[in-house]
Amino acid sequence: MESSIKDLIKRAAEDLANSKYAVAFTGAGISTESGIPDFRGPSGIWTRDPEAERRSYEIFGKFLRNPKEYWEEALRSPFFSILEQAKPNPAHYALAELEEMGIIKAVITQNIDALHQKAGSKNVLEFHGGITKLRCIYCGCRFPREDFSKEIEEKRIPMCKECGSPLKMDVVYFTEPIPRDVYELSFEEAMKCDLMLVCGTSAVVYPAAELPRVAKRRGAKVIEVNFEETPLTHEMISDYLIEGKVGEILPKIVEEVKKLRERQ
């Protein structure tokens, strides 16, 4: 590992150890080492198949027009079974450990794969929803997906237990608004934090990409861990970028934080 990267890892550990309220903001890049492809990275789904990007803009409209057809298709995508079977990688465990140590107070994720929770993170805000739940877009209620396995298996439309409307996956599709509760909580965290650790996101999907910008405007330090530079790097929203694999860098940051704590 290059010495400049080692220095940045030490710097990030010091910044985290000195922070009062750190939050992590994660994207698809934190799960590629769990075998889930991202969208826009070098071997991302859309980088390889631009047509898939176009199709993804049609799913929400389909749910609104024809929930039955939506449910016939929703769980059939090969991407869905990849997500279901994936296991957390060292990057997810590193963030869970930083939370356990009392340093990271919340993980705001754009991912829908629930790997942060599987790794043991407790305060996870799923900005784009998650695959383990169903949600009613009319009254906002969420239900565990397993409560509706029978309906889903029999290709019947799952109905909201509160208001009787058709349910969809909790996952937020393109063109669908972000659910108000998670939107508000995430922006509160971004306004409150004094450090935001941004991991594996290209930071181009809005409104999520606004979160590090809000944190920066409120005076927080913003640290990026990514394979490559992003608009946050170019616009100097991030104080510095640690370039490399999240699964290697985040555990090293945790090691350094531990060393700092031992010395205190």
Among ligand NAD, Zn ion, none, partner that 39 touches (CB below 5 to 8 angstroms by kind): ligand NAD
Residue 183, classified by CB atoms within 10 Å of its CB into exposed (0-12), middle (13-18) or buried (19+), is middle
Rule CB under 5 A: say whether 160 interacts with Zn ion.
yes
Q: Of the candidates 121, 132, 186, 202, which one interacts with ligand NAD according to CB under 6 A?
A: 202
Q: Does residue 136 belong to the site contacting Zn ion (CB under 5 A)?
A: yes
Record the tokens describing residue 76, joined without a space: 């059939």
Select the residue interacting with Zn ion from 69, 162, 229, 235 (CB under 5 A): 162
Question: Which of 23/136 has CB closer to Zn ion?
Answer: 136
- If one asks whether residue 139 binds Zn ion (CB under 5 A), the answer comes out as yes
Instruction: Decide: is 235 part of the binding site for ligand NAD (CB under 6 A).
Output: no
The two structure tokens encoding residue 259? 């060393």
Rounded Cα distance, 242 and 225, in Å = 5
Nearer CB in complex with ligand NAD: 176/194: 176
Total residue length of the chain: 264
Taking CB under 5 A as the criterion, which residues in 164-183 touch Zn ion? Answer: 165
> For the window 12-31, what string marks contact with ligand NAD as x by the rule CB under 6 A?
---------------xxx-x
Q: Is the peptide bond preceding residue 207 cis, with omega within 30 degrees of 0?
A: yes
**Binding site partner of 228, from ligand NAD, Zn ion, none, Cβ cut-off 5-8 A by kind:** ligand NAD
**Cα–Cα distance between 41 and 201 in angstroms, integer?**
9
Helical H runs in the chain? 3-18, 45-48, 50-56, 59-65, 67-74, 78-85, 90-100, 115-119, 149-153, 180-192, 210-217, 231-234, 246-263
Question: What is the strand order of the sheet 240-243 is part of?
Answer: 124-126, 104-109, 22-26, 195-199, 221-226, 240-243
The closest residue (CB) to ligand NAD is 29
Residues 56-75 that bind ligand NAD (CB under 6 A): none
134: left (phi over 0), alpha (psi -120 to 50) or beta: beta
Catalytic site positions: 128
Per-position x/- string for 34-53, each x denoting binding to ligand NAD as judged by CB under 6 A, each - no binding:
--x-xxxx--x---------
What residues line the site for ligand NAD (CB under 6 A)? 27-29, 31-33, 36, 38-41, 44, 110-113, 128, 200-202, 205, 226-228, 230, 245-247
